[in-house]
């Protein structure tokens, strides 16, 4: 395990998380994937364990854990079930604009319900023609007296149909590009709100991903989060904070695959020796472990910077997400290779982990977008802009 900036309390937390996830989450992982069903038993265990409070402030009933502790939580859940790690991180992401920019009244109405496990949330940014190009969104919010009327469509929404509220980005001025974007808290029972197509995905199949539809949805003006027209900045700030957490998810998936490969290599015999005795396999395991540890260090560094509020968080977040996601894809692919034929079938978890790892290279900004962010920040540092 990494020793980077980890206090004794962090190390004790990891032990407790490992025990919890092995006992309460891992037993449901294969079934959730096979049936493409939300792992309610895992969520209920997470809620009842008290770990659900960790990434929220004490002001709202949480435990006030730091970003490193939050990353460890996501990492340990993802190690046994990537689908379950999404219900850990997605509600927290949906709460981020509320916590940072929402009114005290809105925050006090929503956040304690999430902390108690009574509500879950989704983050609604992407649209059919506005994925990486967020400013191209067309979902419209029109002011009408004491409320806004929302019309449009969001896609690739995690927790679609499960969540109780949705943090929705929409244009209050279609002609102002990114400066015309605002953000609203939309509750699932608002008239005109509906769930569209649920995607049939390659990985993280236990976490629903789908369309959200808005047909003249009346949203109280008090549910506007922050200032009208400031939504783009809020979205980018939330992503800077969530990208290392997606990196932590990728690290967890990779750690689970490496653990499985190590167990198999030390138990399986060929040509009169354990598979782990062959130098070619040892080299693979060494590379997997080294890249995984490097990814973990990048994730923890980005989280520590976010905790400290220092400079360079955007670049560090992008580096952590990019490297960790690519590492997860390589480590899970190599794990399947080490297990050979049995790695390719569903009796063993590594093929699921390989499918789960792929999406970490895509969401929260593709890895190509992360490279753009990193390059721009590097150039900004040189030019002083």
Tell me which residues are annotated as active site: 364
Q: How far apart are the C-alpha atoms of 212 and 189, rounded to whole Å?
A: 13
CA 7 to centroid of chain Cα atoms: 24
- As a dihedral over the C-alpha atoms of residue 6, residue 10, residue 12, residue 17, rounded to 10 degrees, the angle is -120
Beta bridge partners of 144: 147
The residues, ordered by sequence, that sit 6+ positions from 110 with a Cβ below 8 Å of its Cβ are 95, 98, 102, 119, 121, 165, 185
Tokens 């130098």, residue?
Answer: 279
Give the SS3 label for residue 80: helix
Could you tell me where the DSSP H helices lie in 59-103?
Answer: 67-80, 82-101
Cα–Cα separations (whole angstroms), residue 121 to 96, 117, 185, 353 = 11, 11, 10, 25
| H/E element, 197 | strand 193-198
């Amino acid at each position: 395990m990494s020793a980077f900036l980890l206090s004794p309390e962090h190390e004790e937390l990891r032990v407790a998380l490992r025990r919890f996830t092995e006992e309460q989450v891992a037993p449901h992982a294969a079934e959730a994937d096979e049936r493409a069903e939300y792992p309610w038993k895992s969520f209920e265990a997470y809620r009842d364990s008290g770990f659900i409070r960790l990434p929220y402030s004490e002001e709202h009933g949480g435990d006030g854990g730091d970003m490193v502790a939050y990353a460890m939580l996501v990492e340990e859940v993802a190690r046994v079930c990537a689908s379950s790690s999404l219900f850990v991180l997605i509600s927290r992401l949906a709460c981020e604009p509320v916590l940072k920019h929402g009114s005290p009244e809105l925050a006090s109405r929503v956040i304690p319900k999430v902390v108690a496990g009574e509500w879950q949330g989704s983050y609604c940014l992407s649209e059919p023609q506005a994925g990486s190009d967020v400013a191209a969104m067309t979902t419209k919010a029109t002011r009408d007296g004491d409320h806004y009327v929302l019309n449009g469509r969001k896609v690739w929404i995690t927790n679609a149909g499960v969540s109780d509220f949705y943090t929705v980005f929409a244009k209050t001025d279609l002609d102002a590009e990114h400066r015309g974007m605002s953000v609203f808290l939309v509750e699932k029972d608002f008239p005109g709100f509906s769930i569209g197509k649920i995607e049939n995905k390659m990985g993280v199949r236990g976490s629903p991903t789908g369309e959200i539809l808005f047909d003249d949805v009346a949203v109280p003006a008090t549910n506007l989060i922050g200032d009208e027209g400031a939504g783009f900045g809020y979205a980018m700030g939330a992503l800077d904070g969530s990208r290392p957490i997606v990196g932590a998810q990728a690290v967890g998936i990779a750690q689970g695959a490496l653990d499985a490969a190590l167990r198999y290599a030390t138990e399986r015999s060929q040509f009169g020796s354990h598979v782990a005795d062959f130098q070619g396999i040892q080299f693979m395991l060494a590379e997997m472990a080294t890249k995984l540890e490097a990814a973990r260090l990048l994730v923890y560094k980005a989280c520590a910077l976010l905790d400290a509020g220092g400079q360079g968080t955007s670049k560090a977040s992008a580096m952590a997400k990019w490297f960790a996601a690519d590492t997860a894809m390589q480590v899970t692919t190599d794990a399947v290779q080490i297990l050979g034929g049995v790695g390719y079938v569903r009796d063993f978890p590594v093929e699921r982990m390989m499918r789960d790892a792929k999406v970490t290279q895509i969401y929260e900004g593709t890895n190509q977008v992360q490279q753009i962010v990193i390059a721009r920040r590097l150039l900004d540092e040189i030019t002083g802009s």
